[in-house]
A and B are shown apart, each in its own frame.
Chain A
Amino acid sequence: MTRTLQPRAPAAPGRPRRRPRLQPARILMGLLLLLFVVFLSFPLLWLISTAFKPLSETFTAGLLPKQPTWANFNEAINDLGVLQSAANTFKVSIISALLTLAIATPASYVLARRPSPVNRAVLVWILITQTFPVILIIVPLFLILARVGLVNTHLGLIVVYVVWSLPFVLWMLQGYVSGIPNELEEAAAVDGATQVQTITRILLPLLIPALVATGLYAFVNAWNEFFFALVLLKSPELTTIQVNLSKLRGIEGLARWGPLAAGSLLATLPTLVLFGFMQRRLVSGLLSGGVKA
């Protein structure tokens, strides 16, 4: 298939187009933004730099390694088993995020569409649960999981993460559902749709950005979690990435910086990639939650 060049349309009559002028205030703002971006990206640059530095250059100034090396990645992958623990974490995070959404979506619908004193009390209770410190619940939780044989299993950790993320996801989702005009559902009912059809064909497509946003929240929550994973998982082959990386930290602020940076970099990549794919939907999801119809 060939493309033909179309003649350019003549300029519209009237005032000639003005070239945008570079105003000092705009330049200053641009520079400030650039500085801010550099400031924000510095930890990532430091991480990349240290991951490629040999041991002898760890404490030297300068971001560019003089003798770049893969040894830190080798140590993180082969000795520490970062890839195995990253795979464990990915499995646990993705399943817990999906399960959280599966439970929160219908529950949020009920909370948003069936206002009642009980539902309002549930919402208040959800907010209160967010104030509980982890250390307060870990022991009873541990005892319950031990009783049902879920200690030292990924399933046990998934259950914990679902329970941990569910209140906030539920709170967010019911806000999104409330933002969808009720009239849409009424119109569907007038057209003869059943309630299930209304939910699956009308509501869910509109909720997709919100589901992405809250799903990402649940995923990142599980991905970054340290304490539950530390206490619940005992076998090295089940370890999650955060617990595994903590093994590289020592006393008095010391750490095995090279492998730690390499491992952290590897651990950052999946979330970066996931955010990269979901970014557009995430932004629209956040906005849709912020605007009420």
Chain B
Amino acid sequence: MKSTLLVSAALLTLVSSSPVQAQSAPVKLRFVSLAWQTQAIAAVKEAVAGCNAANKNVQVEYQQVSWDSVQDYLTTSFQARNVPDVFHFESTPVMEFAAQGVLTDMSKLIPAEMKSDIAPGAWATVTADNGAIYGVPFLWESLITIYNKDLFKAAGLRIPTVAKPWTWTEFQQASKKLTVDKNGDGTPEQYGSAFGLRSPTNRIMNLSLGFGGTYFYKDGGRYVVRVGDKEKALLKILLDMQYTSKSSAPESLTAQSPELFTGFFSGKFAMLPGIGVWARQTIAETGPKNFNWGVLPPIKATTQAQGSATQTLSIPAASAHKKEAAQFITCFVSRVNNGKLAAGDWLFPTRQSSLRGAPFQNEANGWRVASDSAKHLTMAPYQEVKGYTEVKNKVLTPTFQQMLAGRITLDDAARQIEKEGNAILAKYYK
């Protein structure tokens, strides 16, 4: 009996020290992705599978969450400390989460190669004042103008090029020329432009940057909101097109961009200005066959600069596997993957080397013109402002909507934004 026990003990020791047992189980990471288009999901799944195959010690479980619900999902996850190890979101809310202390500072986890390849403007969207980095920016978008080539030809318009873009004055003139009252009843059947302005704030903020209008200014260590001439420039143009030259479709004031596609396809709207580059996918896939459309380069104000937020990958502070999560992000946003992920979403990769790749330099579906606009992208100034979301929801959006609907004047809107916006900001900068 004793010998049996001894043999058993020896066998157990051998088994427990065998190489199979010595191998540690792979670290499991949960990755929350927001990709939702078929091609984009395929690109994400391919990248995840590639990273899992390349590093057997770190296995990533992919979880898809919708854009509509991710804010609530993450908020509750942070509160309950049951967090994904890596999550996909947008730089503006990410920096607000960072201010709450729930995200990992990734500045020491990012490899030098990635640091130098991703555009500096993109890094700015995820970098705090103290240099801490709270996400890896991997996708971003510019606002472009999509146009109906046949209507341009019929109107005899010069098509602006990357080398010779339109000024806003030229754009307004073209929009007026493309506005046609075909039956003479005083109401145009064809409008030059249709801005989707139901949620106008970010669009106005990002395009105003070309006029030098930033809305938010640093005053000592705090931000204040001001609406001066530079901020008013774009608003004047929008109001002029709406109420004076009447070259912008009135129904677009209360519409979101996708709601304008039907009118664009039917020829009711000649241009969809200030729309995201992603819209090309919907137009290419759902537009009528032989629909002749193209992309115009960004309209020039003082400059062609545009504000932009980025789509990011971040690591919660409560993640137990920060190092492995950073390794996964490095693999997921490799040069090749970044190109595929951006192409799948019809957006731009933030890696400059990826943007030079073939998909983004193709003439088809306006890729080359759209990609060229990426060089004008920079961090939207509102990104750095604490309390921006509250100012946006409570003051900017309702005030812009009232002004665009003609219920208050531009000067009233400016006063209202400054008074009410600064009252909110004062709470955040005590």
Contact = CB atoms under 8 A, between A and B. Distances in A.
Interface of A: 55-56, 58-61, 75, 79, 135, 138-139, 142-143, 146, 151, 226-227, 230-231, 234-236, 246-254, 256
Contacts of B259: 253
A139 B288 contact: no
Contacts of B80: 138-139, 142-143, 146
Contacts of B261: 59
Given A59-B261, A236-B62, A236-B64, 18 more contacts: A56-B286, A59-B286, A60-B265, A60-B288, A79-B38, A135-B76, A142-B76, A142-B79, A146-B80, A146-B82, A231-B76, A234-B63, A246-B68, A248-B36, A249-B36, A250-B67, A252-B256, A253-B256
B65 interface: yes
A86 B315 CA distance: 32
Contacts of A146: 80, 82
A256 B286 CA distance: 11
B104 to A, nearest CB: 20
Interface of B: 30, 36-38, 61-69, 72-73, 76-77, 79-80, 82, 196, 199, 256-259, 261-262, 265, 276, 278, 282, 285-289
User: Which residue, A55, A79, A230, has most C-beta atoms of chain B within 10 A?
Assistant: A230
9 residue pairs, one from A and one from B, having the closest CB atoms? A142-B80, A246-B66, A253-B256, A139-B79, A250-B36, A59-B262, A247-B64, A254-B258, A58-B286
B324 to A, nearest CB: 18
Contact of A250 (B37, B79, B196, B199): B37
A247 B66 contact: yes
Given A55-B286, A59-B286, A135-B72, A249 B67 contact: yes
B76 A139 contact: yes
A74 B77 CA distance: 33
Contacts of B276: 252
A58 B283 CA distance: 11
Contacts of B68: 246, 249
A78 to B, nearest CB: 12
A246 B286 CA distance: 21
B197 to A, nearest CB: 12
A151 B38 contact: no
A256 B37 contact: yes
Nearest to B30: A234
B285 A55 contact: yes
Contacts of A231: 72-73, 76-77
B177 to A, nearest CB: 26
Given A55-B285, A55-B286, A252-B276, A247 B36 contact: yes
A75 B65 CA distance: 18
Contacts of B62: 236
A135 B287 CA distance: 41
B344 to A, nearest CB: 13
22 contacts: A55-B286, A59-B262, A60-B262, A60-B288, A61-B262, A79-B38, A139-B79, A142-B80, A142-B82, A143-B80, A146-B80, A146-B82, A227-B69, A227-B72, A230-B65, A235-B61, A246-B68, A247-B36, A252-B257, A252-B276, A253-B256, A256-B36
A77 B73 CA distance: 25
A138 B46 CA distance: 34
Contacts of A61: 262
A29 to B, nearest CB: 35
Contacts of A256: 36-38
Contacts of A248: 36
A253 B258 contact: yes
A250 B282 CA distance: 12
A236 B265 contact: no
B69 A254 contact: no
Nearest to A253: B256
Contact of B69 (A143, A236, A246, A253): A246
A75 B42 CA distance: 13
A254 B77 contact: no
A172 to B, nearest CB: 29
